[in-house]
Structure 1
Amino acid sequence: MKFSSRLSFRLFLATLFLASISFAQSAKPVITKIDPPNWFAGLPTSLLLIHGEHLENTTFSIHGAKAHITETTISPNGHWAFVHLDPGKKPASIQLIAANPHGITTTPYILSARRPQSEQPKGFNSSDVMYLIMPDRFADADPANDALPDFRDPDDRTRARAYHGGDIRGIESHLDYLQQLGVTTIWTTPLYDNSAEQSGNSYHGYSATDMYAVDPHLGTMSDLQALVRAAHSRGMKIVLDTVPNHVGRAHPWAQDMPTPDWFHGTPASHIQAQYDFMTIVDPNGNVATRTAVLNGWFANSLPDLNQDSPLVAQYLTQNAIWWIETAGIDGFRLDTFPYVPRSFWHTYNGTLHQLYPQFTDVGEVFDGDPKVTSFFAGGRANQGSDGTVDTLLDTPFDYPMFFALRGALTRKKPMTAIADVLKQDALYPHPERLVTFFGNHDNKRFLSEPGADPAALRLGFGLLATLRGMPQLYYGDEIAMSGGNDPDNRRDFPGGFPQDQSGSSNQTKSDAFTQSGRTDAEQAMETWVSSLLQLRAHTPALQTGQLAVLSADDNILAFVRGADLSSACSQQPRYIIAANSDTAPHDIAIPLAAAPLAGCTRFTPALETPAEAHSTAGQLQIHLPAQQIAILRAEP
């Protein structure tokens, strides 16, 4: 009986297995997702990445309009289809038809109209001021997305690595504050859907599980479009953080790759990313280390996309196009820039600049050596171990200046460190485009840097507003927020959450978005920053003028900004900036005989500070109290 029962059970399993195979072979196609979810008439051929079941032996066709399919490839497991679609010239609603011998599945698909010329990206430049926001930590204006059903980890503001409830509407509701401060460009950390991770650890947005959706914790695409419209109505711009290097561990691709080479390796077998960018910069760089930079998994856990695959490259490029057309954004911040092949960036940026001439992007090259950061800047084909390539990147962030500012202002480095960075500007095709900063979400807050204090922070803002390039602020630095290393540097903006203003849930009542809600220290710093940014907004020389260092030593840095500094002082005013990082006062004498100050006779404060200045005997004498800055207007 036991043998007979065992045999019957085995026959049952075999029958069930054969039946499942028969069902799979006799089932009609099932389509569960199409990337991109829509495309745009008049754009180049789109690659539709279709996910589903029973796609093997399936043919695809289009009904409606003049769009047509040019090529189709299907994965061996029948889960993925690559359909190349020529969208034609006119917007239309079409039907995507998937047919196999066992049935037909029809899916509606939209070919949308492109944005009109008046809504094309505006880009950013050195006349702008960029402000970095982590939406989850800035402001909560939509309580409906604070407790998502079917999401494992609840919002919890008491935990540093959890969603706190901030959202896109929270940014829009505080545009008045940002504009009054002097901000013209808002950079948000990624808005990609990270929710498949089912973890509050994904609050930052850098672990995408769907690159064609907004994370529901942060809002909807409609919310983003409303933010863009509201910002544009004020003359402000929106820059979106995007991550072509990797996706999150919970992305469906991690367990079911569309092609065998979609990633560099698998979750079970991959190499860890290395951070030695010099192996790319050096034409003779170590090949194994360079491979680890380009092919390694960031943090040894995030699946590394293979941009050398034409299918992956096209997917990522048209993903960028889709966000530009759908949301109306003005630029990108490109995460982990050196970890992606420069050959990909050349094509990616070339495509975007051809379609959107005013669109701009800034790349993260986290390195303090100008020889490294300038190597990745666009505008020049640089020879490295990966060939001779122009990335066509508009600009990298000025990380060398970041390290110089932090070191000099906390007196770990001399002020000559800043001058040394400026001396290497010729390495860049466009040093005037560099994005300067002393704080962001990847580093401890400036005020939590050993040796920092509010006076040093004030001095840092003074230099940030007057150096060449476009200044970038990190949310909350303007009210002197503190915070240690990640995630402590990502605290909530006080006043951005309902509990802040009511004082409930063990939260101290505060609202730093309003003058009446700020502490004295917060108000003093905000007033100083807004006055600096207003000066900059009304002073072309500080936005686009040339820069020449006048003097630099351990404690003092002095430089001049203005047009055509190779000639004598002209009717266009020049601006002299002198900064003292020391805790003791210092005097500086600047000769006036040679350009760029020859012929300048009047020196007036452009912004009132405790510094004093007067000219005598062919010299400009400046008295700088401890940790103070002078900003002088120089005229004939």
Structure 2
Amino acid sequence: MFWCKCERWTSLTVISAALLAGVCVTHPTQAQISSSALKIEKVDPPNWWAAMPKPMLLVRGEGFSGAKFSLSDASLHVEKTVVSANGHWAQVWLEASPVKPETITLRARRNGQTAETKYTFAARRPVSDGFAGFSSRDVMYLIMTDRFADGDLTNDGLEAHSAADSAEARAERDKPRGWHGGDLRGVTQHLDYLQQLGVTAVWTTPVYENHEKESYHGYGATDLYRVDDHYGSLDDLKVLASALHARGMKLVLDTVPNHVGPGNPWVHDEPAPDWFHGTAESHLKAETNFHALIDPHASDRDRVGTLHGWFANVLPDMNTESPAVAQYLRQDAVWWIEQTGADALRIDTFPYVDREFWHEFHGELAKLYPRLTEVGEVFNGDPVITSSFAGGVTRAGVDTGLFTPFDFPTYFALRDVFLKGESLKKLSDVLESDSLYPHPERLVPFLGNHDTARFSQGATTDAALRLAFAYLLTTRGMPQIYSGDELAMKGGEDPDNRRDFPGGFPEATKNAFTAAGRSPEQAAMFDWVSRLTAIRHKDTALTCGGLQMLNSGENWLVFLRDSSHAPASGCTAASDDQKVLVAIHRGQASEALTVDLTSTWAAGCRVGPTELGISSSVAEITGQQLKLQMGSNDVLIAACH
């Protein structure tokens, strides 16, 4: 739309106000569109790769109505071109990518005018350069980039142009929902800390450009092909990836195909009429009716609010049923993976996107990156619902192809047990539903994340967090730790759960990245978690072995991890027959328990030296009986020979 005095109005309310005030409002005629100067301003993706699937180039500019697009390489051809009604956008679909790397010229011609831009098809990264995927051998660590560490002290403040010690930057850090200054360099600078903790995979919140005053979290993209200035640059992201890979660690990128931010230029200038589900002025508010998504008897009426609604009623919902939108989003994921050598993806708001999109999305990624893995957010405590979105499950529709969902059922159970005092049997109840998943060993259990109140916020003592961490780091799947939980960091609901990491910012008086800078409480929890991760990495049974529950009750949980019963696929256990006994006891007093081992994996075992547990806690096997004597709120981990 064009308005008198070159002003662009962005809502029906403003347009109505302008009319009432007598301001001239006019719509462009076809003649005006056709007479616009021909100009190419931007191409998405910014580059592509030789011998890759054929791309769709989304070109932004002016005067594209009636223009013909061509490529300087005569062997490359345009399959079709789709131009928006206002001439601002052109979808240029190529018939193929070149076989070898080259830089070409993309040209648009119309009525004697020519606009052109250089476009590069680069050589792909070697297969060995990343793309490794995660498995249950890993420990994943979630970092909200803006709140972790300020490594570049020049890109702070609201506009990312202020020094960290400036008044503007300090004022922004004082806002609970402001930009605090954490960046990718800050993550890179603290990889020693993460390795000391036992972390092997780093998940950063989205790095997309988010030009919104409270979009520090990264989930409101205004440009899906640009690193936000607050976080740094694409080069900074590549440096982080290389630094991780040099240490044998992995990079997990956060991707958001469901929606973009309200400040995205598409919102009021769509590349196509069906780019979004609805418009800023007229759209559905997102619902969370996951039951309808897996119910074969539910109507589309009951599903549409979940699949087409705008998240939080403000985040524009991408129309992934559109072939052009689906192509754009698949290419976007490939672009970030290929640029960085990323090993895995974390996928936001997974159930809010149709299954057919995911089937094609993961199908293409699997062909290009066979080892790449993905974990999807399915925020629900019902294993029936969560498992319905796992790859290999077709009872609720076409296979999504997702490597694994997050283990939200275990998350909810951990909080019920250790924060609300419910029976420890609730944890074994969750495991009883593992048969719903083709690969339960791939699940990603966790205590909390950036969308939930801190675990410590609800705990009356550190014992609850210690016991919860013990279960998290010994159960099946790949554990995920939210940055700061290893320090017993507190915080309520969003945004209080996103406090700055202690020591990562200029005003910090204590630096928890160092042993000397941690308080006694922080040091005790860090040492506990790092000790658990060290045991986990040493004992193959804890990372790759099968899990058999030996006893579960009000205050007891006893189970065996056995490498000889490793899942048939996924993480491969060591050739030796390794068994590890895990016992968790909750209670203020010492207590004894006898467990019958008849016809269990532990039958015939001899308990070896205790790897974890206070001196008063002991385990011994006599005949077919396991006898445990454990102290207050203790965990016992021991080999079982």
Query: Is the TM value for this pair above 0.5?
Result: yes
Counterpart pick for 1:331 among 344, 352, 355: 344
Counterpart pick for 1:499 among 503, 507, 511: 507
Distance change in 2, residues 1:336/1:18 (3 Å) = closer
CA contact (8 A) 1:28 1:105 kept: no
In 2, Cα distance between the equivalents of 1:309 and 1:56? 21
CA contact (8 A) 2:209 2:218 kept: yes
Equivalent residue letter for 2:518: R
1:52 equivalent in structure 2:
61
Q: Percent identity?
A: 48
2:618 equivalent in structure 1:
612
CA contact (8 A) 2:59 2:92 kept: yes
SS in 2 for 1:261: coil
In 2, Cα distance between the equivalents of 1:150 and 1:535? 42
CA contact (8 A) 1:254 1:267 kept: yes
2:605 equivalent in structure 1:
600
CA contact (8 A) 1:65 1:94 kept: no
Counterpart pick for 1:414 among 417, 423, 426: 423
Shift of 1:150: 8.3
1:431 equivalent in structure 2:
440
1:175 equivalent in structure 2:
191
Q: Deviations over 1:84-139 (max 9, x none)?
A: 12221111111111110041011111111111122140010000000000010000
Shift of 1:151: 7.6
CA contact (8 A) 1:214 1:221 kept: yes
In 2, Cα distance between the equivalents of 1:77 and 1:573? 67
Counterpart pick for 2:208 among 186, 192, 196: 192
The equivalences for 1:430-469 within 5 A come to 430-449=439-458, 451-469=459-477
1:12 equivalent in structure 2:
none
Shift of 1:499: 2.4
Counterpart pick for 2:216 among 203, 210, 221: 203
Q: Deviations over 1:565-618 (max 9, x none)?
A: 59xxx9623111111233343321122332211211233212243422223353
1:135 correspondence with 2:141: no
1:578 correspondence with 2:587: no
CA contact (8 A) 1:548 1:565 kept: no
2:5 equivalent in structure 1:
none
In 1, Cα distance between the equivalents of 2:371 and 2:305? 34
In 1, Cα distance between the equivalents of 2:517 and 2:75? 59
Shift of 1:148: 6.3
Counterpart pick for 1:228 among 214, 238, 241: 241
CA contact (8 A) 1:480 1:525 kept: yes
2:629 equivalent in structure 1:
623
SS in 1 for 2:128: helix
The equivalences for 1:507-586 within 5 A come to 509-565=509-565, 572-586=577-591
SS in 1 for 2:118: strand
Equivalent residue letter for 1:192: Y
In 1, Cα distance between the equivalents of 2:589 and 2:436? 35
In 1, Cα distance between the equivalents of 2:511 and 2:193? 12
CA contact (8 A) 1:411 1:582 kept: no
Shift of 1:154: 5.2
In 2, Cα distance between the equivalents of 1:571 and 1:431? 23
1:97 correspondence with 2:97: no
CA contact (8 A) 2:550 2:558 kept: yes
Equivalent residue letter for 1:593: T
Shift of 1:241: 0.6
CA contact (8 A) 1:512 1:518 kept: yes
| TM-score normalised by the chain length of structure 2 | 0.91
Counterpart pick for 1:402 among 404, 411, 421: 411
Moved more, 27-36 or 166-175: 27-36
Equivalent residue letter for 1:394: F
Distance change in 2, residues 1:18/1:401 (3 Å) = closer
Distance change in 2, residues 1:329/1:595 (3 Å) = same
1:352 correspondence with 2:352: no
Moved more, 146-155 or 185-194: 146-155
The equivalences for 1:340-379 within 5 A come to 340-379=353-392
Distance change in 2, residues 1:20/1:369 (3 Å) = closer
Moved more, 616-625 or 518-527: 616-625
Shift of 1:168: 0.1
SS in 1 for 2:600: coil
In 1, Cα distance between the equivalents of 2:26 and 2:135? 63
Shift of 1:159: 1.2
The equivalences for 1:21-32 within 5 A come to 24-32=33-41
SS in 1 for 2:60: strand
Distance change in 2, residues 1:29/1:591 (3 Å) = same
Matched residues, number: 603
Shift of 1:511: 0.3
1:247 correspondence with 2:288: no
SS in 2 for 1:499: coil
Q: Deviations over 1:29-86 (max 9, x none)?
A: 1111111111111111101111111110100011137433221111121111000122
1:487 correspondence with 2:495: yes
Gap regions ≥5 residues in structure 2: 1-24, 163-167, 567-574
Moved more, 216-225 or 548-557: 548-557
In 2, Cα distance between the equivalents of 1:617 and 1:101? 92
Shift of 1:525: 0.7
In 1, Cα distance between the equivalents of 2:189 and 2:394? 43
User: What is the Cα-based RMSD across aligned positions, in Å?
Assistant: 2.2
CA contact (8 A) 2:612 2:635 kept: no
Shift of 1:369: 0.4
In 2, Cα distance between the equivalents of 1:165 and 1:17? 43
SS in 1 for 2:310: coil
SS in 1 for 2:119: strand
SS in 2 for 1:71: strand
In 2, Cα distance between the equivalents of 1:521 and 1:561? 30
| TM-score normalised by the chain length of structure 1 | 0.91
CA contact (8 A) 1:44 1:87 kept: yes
Gap regions ≥5 residues in structure 1: 1-15, 501-508
Distance change in 2, residues 1:588/1:104 (3 Å) = same
Shift of 1:452: 4.2
1:475 equivalent in structure 2:
483
1:13 equivalent in structure 2:
none
Counterpart pick for 2:288 among 268, 275, 288: 275
Shift of 1:149: 5.0
Moved more, 373-382 or 577-586: 577-586
In 2, Cα distance between the equivalents of 1:75 and 1:537? 54
In 1, Cα distance between the equivalents of 2:564 and 2:248? 29
Equivalent residue letter for 2:632: A
Moved more, 283-292 or 332-341: 283-292
Counterpart pick for 2:231 among 203, 218, 242: 218
In 2, Cα distance between the equivalents of 1:417 and 1:537? 26
Distance change in 2, residues 1:23/1:279 (3 Å) = closer
Equivalent residue letter for 1:594: S
SS in 2 for 1:142: coil
In 1, Cα distance between the equivalents of 2:185 and 2:193? 14
Shift of 1:563: 2.6
Shift of 1:20: 9.6
CA contact (8 A) 1:93 1:111 kept: yes
1:119 equivalent in structure 2:
129
CA contact (8 A) 2:594 2:626 kept: yes
In 2, Cα distance between the equivalents of 1:93 and 1:206? 33
Query: Hey, which bits of structure 1, 4+ residues long, moved more than 4 A?
Result: 16-24, 148-155
Shift of 1:439: 1.2
Q: Deviations over 1:392-414 (max 9, x none)?
A: 10000000000011111124321
SS in 2 for 1:323: helix
In 1, Cα distance between the equivalents of 2:588 and 2:399? 45
In 1, Cα distance between the equivalents of 2:112 and 2:157? 43
SS in 1 for 2:516: helix
In 1, Cα distance between the equivalents of 2:234 and 2:91? 25
